[in-house]
Structure 1
Amino acid sequence: MAVEPDFEYDLLERLTEARGVPGYEDRVRAIVREELTPHVEDLHTDAMGNVIGTVEGESAYSVVVAAHMDEIGFMVTHVDENGFLAVDPLGGFDPRVLKAQRATVHTRGGDLPGVIGSAPPHTLDEADREKTPKVEDVRIDLGLDAETVEERVSPGDLVTLDQGTEIVGEHVTGKAVDNRVSVLALIEAARRLDSPAVTVHFAATVQEEVGLRGANALGVDLDPDLAIALDTTVANDVPGFEEREYVTRCGEGVAIKLKDSSVITSPKVHRRLAAVAETEGISHQFEVLPAGGTDTAGFQTAAGAKPVGALSIPTRYLHTVTESAHLRDVGATIDLLSAFLDGETGEGDYRL
């Protein structure tokens, strides 16, 4: 590849290819626990499934670094008389990209392969061709007779979309790049952190895709002095968009969030992030996201007013199975997060 990643690519592949929809992040959680254990002094999982690895600092001042583990998916609601599965979405899908996708149904008896079918175009009339697709119209075909499906599948079983993780040019692409690439950054930063001046909680959170629920709970339970969230963000630097609509550009560095529809980050925090990036020569850009939210908002007010910042990894084709992030931007995110934590003394004043 033209760009050699300065992080453990094999770990990113494991994280992205693991399955974990909101509320059922078990497979991802197991990887996170395994990878964090050697690098933290305390590791625990709370009642919601958030994983928290703590590195004790010289002071009681505490910083939370959070990245969500969950990916968008579905929950089975019904098996029809012909053995096709109706589903309810877990997270936001664009229904236009769901047709002709392969899927896996996760049952108590094991995983079953399936497909989301698409009618051949030459069998559709003009009205069908022009019909706007809806997520509620999705049906999963397991290729089995109805009786067998009834025996093996139950309402509440989970569905994820299938796609391997690949290097495409200088990008990593696949399903669940949102947000496993940030989980990787969290783990890499924990590996690098040595004798911090402040206590750092590395938190892999749950249920972000359905309302920042894990972060909201952790904001109360941990009550940090400062929170930094990690997530992917929109990179519309592709045909069909005007430059003003790009939000971020792939390959131009980590994005320092200024706002999204859920949060306006603390000015003193994002200014310090930018100052560290300038001092360390880390490529960076600024993010103003018109719509969408991240765990940042979950920490800002959950236990009273808190200073918050966020680092985002520019990503094309979000909420599809071909999400695509530039390898250099991933490396820049890890570098800036690590440098920021190394320099945090707890003595700065983030109040406005």
Structure 2
Amino acid sequence: MAAPFDFDLLQELTETSGVPGYEDRIREVVRRELEPEVDELQTDGMGNVVGTLNGNSDYSVVVAAHMDEIGFMVRHVTDDGFVQLDALGGWDPRVLKAQRVTIHTDDEDITGLIGSVPPHTLDEAERESTPDVSDLHVDTGLDGQTANERISRGDLVTLNQTTERVGDNVTGKALDDRSCLFTIIEAARRIEDPDVTIHFAATVQEEVGIRGARALGVDLDPDLALALDVTVANDVPGFEAADHVTELGEGTAIKLKDSSVIANPKIHQRLQSVADEAEIDFQLEVLPAGGTDTAGFQRAGGAVPAGAISIPTRYLHTVTESAHVDDIAATIDLLTAFLESETGGHDYTL
């Protein structure tokens, strides 16, 4: 089955590097894709990108997805040529051993390997221990002098992974949150003459504390905010049904809550009504832990009605994040239908 959307663009977005605070490469892709679809395109002092589609009223809606992916910064290069890392974002070190990485220097990209010694050389305590990111080392295959000449403290490191189709799923790195960047770009392509002004925002530094969204909430001062992010899909062996949160292939997810936000009830109710009317499959998201840009916009410059749409995703914060193609398509459809039907006349006060 062919993907029901521009898979090549999704692949480019997910494979492009961009860690918190250094979103340069992905920012250029976003600017390239948004510019022909909007009336104005701006980048601010933090690196947030905002593409504005002017509506027929002063009422404004911001729709946001974050550009940054979790990654690392080089903190030390040893005399033997091994690279030690500092985390940018929330990593589970258990999934990092034996992974291939790319070290992004000023002059070049260097491939490295996160080392993992053979298990039969470890004692029982070492086999059962959980490493910290600070315990990991990157093997560049270079001697110490060469490594120190080519790699510097502060260079950036991302996981090296391609994006592929696996059955009905898309899998790779950085679906969090490039699949949602893709969603807002696709919505911007479809919407031509909105009743309200729409700010399509690609935010920075979400993975280290929703910093870009907080700044934009003040600068844009929207009347309504809608964030897009991935959410947990624990619909795999080893989890009870109540712990799935969402399930792949069951539709886009309308957020009710996470640990950072309780979505405005009138917004999630209207999202459900729009989905029902357009016959878009959806599920309700009750996420026990984790936060998104939704919280940043909800209270950045005062009380703003805020909601969120999520793409169900397995294996979050790994290089094999996986989402169902139909859920991605449903997310695009719901976002587009919601924005096209937003008149500025809906009362979201409680």
Report SS of the residue matched to 1:324. Answer: strand
Report SS of the residue matched to 1:6. Answer: coil
Deviation, 1:6, is: 2.2
Partner of 2:122: 124
Alignment partner of 1:192 is 2:187? no
In the TM superposition, 1:144-159 aligns within 5 A as: 144-159=142-157
List per-residue Cα deviations over 1:52-97 (Å, max 9, x = no partner). 0000000000000000011000000111221111111000011110
User: Could you tell me which amino acid in structure 2 is paired with residue 130 of structure 1?
Assistant: E
Deviation, 1:98, is: 0.3
In structure 2, which of residues 277, 281, 294 is the aligned counterpart of residue 279 of structure 1? 277
List per-residue Cα deviations over 1:286-318 (Å, max 9, x = no partner). 000000000000000001000001000000000
Query: In 2, Cα distance between the equivalents of 1:132 and 1:103?
Result: 20
Partner of 1:232: 230
List per-residue Cα deviations over 1:218-271 (Å, max 9, x = no partner). 000000000000000000000111111000000000000000000000000000
Deviation, 1:275, is: 0.4
User: Could you tell me which amino acid in structure 1 is paired with residue 302 of structure 2?
Assistant: G
List per-residue Cα deviations over 1:11-70 (Å, max 9, x = no partner). 000000100000111111111111111110000111111110000000000000000011
Report SS of the residue matched to 1:306. Answer: coil
In structure 1, which of residues 64, 67, 70 is the aligned counterpart of residue 68 of structure 2? 70
List per-residue Cα deviations over 1:184-233 (Å, max 9, x = no partner). 00000000111100000000011000000000000000000000000000
Report SS of the residue matched to 1:319. Answer: coil
User: Could you tell me which amino acid in structure 2 is paired with residue 244 of structure 1?
Assistant: A
Partner of 2:206: 208
Report SS of the residue matched to 2:348. Answer: coil
Partner of 1:324: 322
In structure 1, which of residues 18, 21, 43 is the aligned counterpart of residue 19 of structure 2? 21
In the TM superposition, 1:1-352 aligns within 5 A as: 2=1, 4-352=2-350
Deviation, 1:131, is: 1.4
Identical-pair percentage? 67
User: Could you tell me which amino acid in structure 2 is paired with residue 194 of structure 1?
Assistant: E
Deviates more, 1:129-138 or 1:154-163: 129-138
List per-residue Cα deviations over 1:108-132 (Å, max 9, x = no partner). 1211110001001111111211212
User: Could you tell me which amino acid in structure 2 is paired with residue 46 of structure 1?
Assistant: D
TM-score when normalising by structure 2? 0.99
Deviation, 1:102, is: 0.2
Query: In 2, Cα distance between the equivalents of 1:258 and 1:103?
Result: 36
Deviation, 1:5, is: 2.3
Report SS of the residue matched to 1:348. Answer: coil
Query: In 2, Cα distance between the equivalents of 1:79 and 1:58?
Result: 56
Query: In 1, Cα distance between the equivalents of 2:287 and 2:154?
Result: 34
Query: In 2, Cα distance between the equivalents of 1:15 and 1:58?
Result: 31
User: Could you tell me which amino acid in structure 1 is paired with residue 323 of structure 2?
Assistant: A
Report SS of the residue matched to 2:192. Answer: coil
Q: Which runs of 4+ in 1 moved over 3 A?
A: none
User: Could you tell me which amino acid in structure 2 is paired with residue 109 of structure 1?
Assistant: D
CA-based RMSD of the aligned residues comes to 0.6
Query: In 1, Cα distance between the equivalents of 2:131 and 2:235?
Result: 25
Report SS of the residue matched to 2:297. Answer: helix
Query: In 2, Cα distance between the equivalents of 1:37 and 1:79?
Result: 40
Query: In 2, Cα distance between the equivalents of 1:334 and 1:126?
Result: 49
Query: In 2, Cα distance between the equivalents of 1:32 and 1:239?
Result: 36
Report SS of the residue matched to 1:237. Answer: coil
Query: In 2, Cα distance between the equivalents of 1:19 and 1:132?
Result: 27
Query: In 2, Cα distance between the equivalents of 1:117 and 1:77?
Result: 17
Query: In 1, Cα distance between the equivalents of 2:295 and 2:309?
Result: 13
Q: Specify every segment of 5 or more residues in structure 2 that has no aligned partner in the other structure, as ranges.
A: none
User: Could you tell me which amino acid in structure 2 is paired with residue 102 of structure 1?
Assistant: R
Q: Specify every segment of 5 or more residues in structure 1 that has no aligned partner in the other structure, as ranges.
A: none
